[in-house]
Amino acid sequence: MKDRTGTADKSRIDGASQRNRVKALLLVMPGVLWLIAFAVVPIVFLGIMSLWTSTIFGLSKTLTLDNYRSVASAPAYLLVLWHTLLIAAATTLLALIISYPMAYFLSVLKGRRKTVAVVLLFMPFWTSYLVRTFLWLPMLGRNGLINQALMRLGIVSAPIDWLLYNEGAVLLGLVYVYTLYMTLPIYLSLDRLDPKLLEAAADLGAGPFRALWRVMVPLSLPGILSGCIMVFLLACGAYVTPQLLGGTRGVMFGSIIAAQYMQTNNWALGAALSVILVAVVFLCVFTIGRRVRLNEVFLGVRN
């Protein structure tokens, strides 16, 4: 008797949850269809096109690894790829060094001052990265702020040319444009941290640096890792920054990919180069950050 009412209830609940799941599926359907049509399918297309070849008569649709072979046998491509990974790694490291104290600074502020400080930090990053890259031209150029200041101070007599159009300028531009993607996740993880833990460490006799290194850094590790992943990903795919600030010495992989579509019109090779970039970047990210779950990084929930 008791048992039967139990199963009846259970089946009613099952029916309700079944209906809920159908409703949920219907709600997510437009988004899912959109993503399949305009995110998944186009990426598959690109993968297939990387196996075609571009000829003067158009695309040859025979599947072949020719594009990959020509990339593998051209040291110039591999050199630029290596160069790109190095610049991206340097950008990530610099962003981390700049961000950690800044994130700590924000996390210990209180009240209105905290709100203002956080919004002030975010504001520039909510604007066009094209403009934020462009503004380094008048900063570093011959008539730029740095040169004018140096000349005014009598440190140099003529404007210096090497401020722009090299790897250093690219690195500066990338750090300027992408640091927030490091500061934000570290700040969020430090802000969640229970201040009592640091007190406890101090009570137990840990000096400030020991408390920092043994308590705070490990607990903010998820923030650090997700920041590193975001900045590294973004820097690897940079195109605007090397194009505007890099000149011929600061070429990055993104410029090579763009050239296949905008200059030489070799779409198939461009597709192969894109696949290589994505594969290499993701390989780096997954070997470094295997411990981070993407869902946790982006949604902030364990699921």
Partner 1 sequence: MASSLSETRIGHDAGAHPARPIRWGNCLLSGYAMLVYLFLYGPVGLLVLLSVNNSEVIGLPFRGFSWRWYETVANTPELVHAIVNSFAVGAASALAATVIALLMAMGFRSDLPLRNVIVKMLLLPILIPGIVGGAVFLVFFGVVGVPLGLWTTVIVTHITWVLPFAFLTLFPRLHNFDRSLEEAAMDLGARPIIVFQRILLPLIWPGIVSTLLFSFTLSFDEFVRTLFVIGDERTIPVHLWVLITNQMAPFLPAVGVIIMGTSIAISLIGFAVSARSSHSGTEQ
Residue placing its CB nearer to partner 1 in the complex, 3 or 127: 127
Helices (H), the chain: 2-35, 41-49, 66-72, 75-108, 111-122, 129-134, 136-140, 145-152, 167-178, 180-192, 195-203, 208-211, 217-219, 221-236, 240-241, 253-262, 267-288, 294-299
| Integer Cα distance of 248 and 192 in angstroms | 45
The binder of partner 1 chosen from 77, 129, 165, 178 (CB under 8 A): 129
* Smallest gap from residue 93 Cβ to partner 1 (A): 16
Q: Please, which of residues 51-90 interact with partner 1 by CB under 8 A?
A: none
Residue placing its CB nearer to partner 1 in the complex, 20 or 264: 20
* Smallest gap from residue 188 Cβ to partner 1 (A): 6
Residue placing its CB nearer to partner 1 in the complex, 1 or 287: 287
Give yes or no for residue 148 binding partner 1 (CB under 8 A).
yes
State the Cα angle at 163 between 160 and 167, rounded to 5°.
145
Give yes or no for residue 143 binding partner 1 (CB under 8 A).
yes
AA identity, residue 16: A
Part in contact with partner 1 (CB under 8 A); list of ranges 64-72, 161-169, 220-228, 259-267: 259-267
Residue placing its CB nearer to partner 1 in the complex, 160 or 202: 202
In this structure, the number of other CB atoms found within 10 A of the CB of residue 80 comes to 19
Give yes or no for residue 176 binding partner 1 (CB under 8 A).
yes
Give yes or no for residue 283 binding partner 1 (CB under 8 A).
no
Give yes or no for residue 13 binding partner 1 (CB under 8 A).
no
Q: Which of 276, 292, 273, 168 is nearest to 230 (CA)?
A: 292
| Integer Cα distance of 89 and 197 in angstroms | 32
Part in contact with partner 1 (CB under 8 A); list of ranges 4-12, 63-71, 217-225, 272-280: 272-280
* Smallest gap from residue 147 Cβ to partner 1 (A): 8
The binder of partner 1 chosen from 137, 150, 160, 221 (CB under 8 A): 137
Would you give the DSSP letter of residue 96? H
User: For residues 201 and 281, is the Cβ–Cβ distance under 8 A?
Assistant: no
For every residue of 117-129, DSSP letters joined together read HHHHHHGGGGS-H
Q: Please, which of residues 189-228 interact with partner 1 by CB under 8 A?
A: 191, 195-196, 198-199, 202, 208
Q: Please, which of residues 97-126 interact with partner 1 by CB under 8 A?
A: 98, 101-102, 104-105, 108, 110-111, 114-115, 117-124, 126
Q: Which of 21, 16, 24, 19 is nearest to 8 (CA)?
A: 16
Residue placing its CB nearer to partner 1 in the complex, 4 or 213: 213
Q: Please, which of residues 17-36 interact with partner 1 by CB under 8 A?
A: 17, 20-21, 23-28, 30-32, 34-36
